[in-house]
Amino acid sequence: MKALFGLLVMLAAVSHGMDPCDATLDGAQCYGTLGGTVFLQLIQDVSGVPDISLKTESNDAAKIILKIRNKHPKIVKIHKSIETRAHFFTNNGTFRINNTERNDSAEYKLETFNADGETLGTRKLQLFIEAPLSSPQLSSQCLTHGEMRVSCSSEGDGPQYSWTLDGHPLRDTEASPGDKTNTITLKRGQSGDLTCTVINNINSVTVSKIISPCEEIIGMVAASLAGVVLVLVMVLAVYCVQKKKKPPKTSVHVDSQDVEYANVRTLKKQMRLQERKVEYGQVKITGAPQQPLEVFGQNKTLEGPRWKVGTPEEGDCVYARVRKGQ
């Protein structure tokens, strides 16, 4: 709270729009928006001070930014580095700087002189030119045991963060240490309207988000792993069933030419066997005259119009082989 109060006191000296920063006191601190306009109230009554000089030291070299000789006619000189961006109002003693730049930030020294050139007084002025804050963004992440880590981020110079949950400030003990409490850890079960306020010397921005409790990640991970294992078991079971139903494939390669050659060889073999077949039995010849026939040393007469050869008896054998085509 002390730091916030001190920041609010400093913000009282910030120049916004046409409101000048009071630089009439020694050690004044004034703030201006980068790229904006700043008004510095250097002196209240210009007529009572003959000469005014505003200068700064950069790289150990004094640079006179503004010099006024309060005589007739009055002379106002502005340094060439900012003369196109600056103007001094002789009626109220206000110094204006437009399109402020980073190098406008400096410690200035204001000196006043009398008509004889003697120093009447010296004051110091610190001018800060800073970038304003952008709209903040909230991001949240659930932790292992149901806690939630929430981060608040904003672009700009010198941001400072504060948190409230349902309008109640969160204690520092609940905030993560370091980097100006832009990250906070909510305890398990905490929920509600979480608000992050970001403030710097130029402006203040706020963002809110409704926070729901986190589940424990360990339980979620375990449930996820169990689901994966169950799916794998089911896939494996289906694979095994399909493998059992499907007979193994035997690769058989039969050359059609080999089959054809085999059939031809078989046919030729059968023909040779028929040609070599020995027929045992009777031979009957019709339409021929009777004539004696010697069968292995014995004369037998064939009767009738046929030749008749009886079946072999008592060792007599008649062999007849008939070859096809003979």
Over residues 251-275, the pLDDT tens digits come to: 444 455 554 555 556 656 666 665 5
Listed residue (83, 84, 209, 65) closest to 151, CA to CA: 209
Topology (CATH level 3) of domain 9-130: Immunoglobulin-like (2.60.40)
* Cα distances (Å, whole numbers) of residue 249 to 55, 190, 242, 243, 252: 98, 64, 14, 11, 9
72 pLDDT above the threshold of 50: yes
pLDDT of 65 strictly over 80: yes
Closest to 91 in 3D by CA, of 44, 21, 38 = 44
Q: Which residue has the higher pLDDT, 229 or 84?
A: 84
Q: How far is residue 256's CA from residue 36's CA, in Å, rounded to a whole number?
A: 95
pLDDT at 258 (0 to 100): 52
Residues 126-152, mean pLDDT to the nearest whole number: 93
Please, what is the Cα angle at 274 between 270 and 279, to 5 degrees? 155
**Using CA atoms, how far apart are residues 30 and 40, in angstroms rounded to an integer?**
8
User: pLDDT digits over 82-93, tens only?
Assistant: 999 999 998 889
Query: Residues with Cβ < 8 Å from 283, sequence gap 6 or more?
Result: 307, 309, 318, 320
Structure-model confidence comparison of residues 289 and 164, the more confident one: 164
- pLDDT (0 to 100) of residue 274: 59
Check for a shared fold between 9-130 and 137-211.
yes
Q: How confident is the prediction for the chain on average, in pLDDT?
A: 75
Q: pLDDT tier at 140 (50, 70, 90 boundaries)?
A: very high
Q: Sign (positive/negative) of CA torsion 133, 137, 142, 148? A: positive
The pLDDT assigned to 326 comes to 43
Residues in Cβ contact with 278 at an 8 Å cutoff, skipping those fewer than 6 apart: 319, 321
Distance separating alpha carbons of residues 159 and 131, to the nearest angstrom: 10
Could you tell me the residue ranges of all domains in the chain? Answer: 9-130, 137-211
Beta bridge partners of 51: 69, 113
Quick one: fold of 137-211?
Immunoglobulin-like (2.60.40)
Say how far apart CA 43 and CA 94 lie, in whole Å.
7
pLDDT given for residue 115 in this prediction: 81
pLDDT of residue 57: 72
User: Looking at residue 76, what is its pLDDT?
Assistant: 92
pTM over 0.85? The answer is no
CA 77 to chain CA centroid, Å, is 57
- pLDDT digits over 181-199, tens only? 789 999 998 899 999 999 9
Q: What is the pLDDT of residue 314?
A: 42
Which pLDDT score, from 0 to 100, does residue 262 have? 52
- Identify which of 15-19, 232-236, 296-300 has the greatest average pLDDT: 232-236
Average pLDDT over residues 120-127: 93
- Say how many residues make up the chain: 326
pLDDT tens profile 105-115: 999 999 998 88
Residue 12 CB coordination number (10 Å): 8
Please report the pLDDT score of residue 235 as a whole number: 82
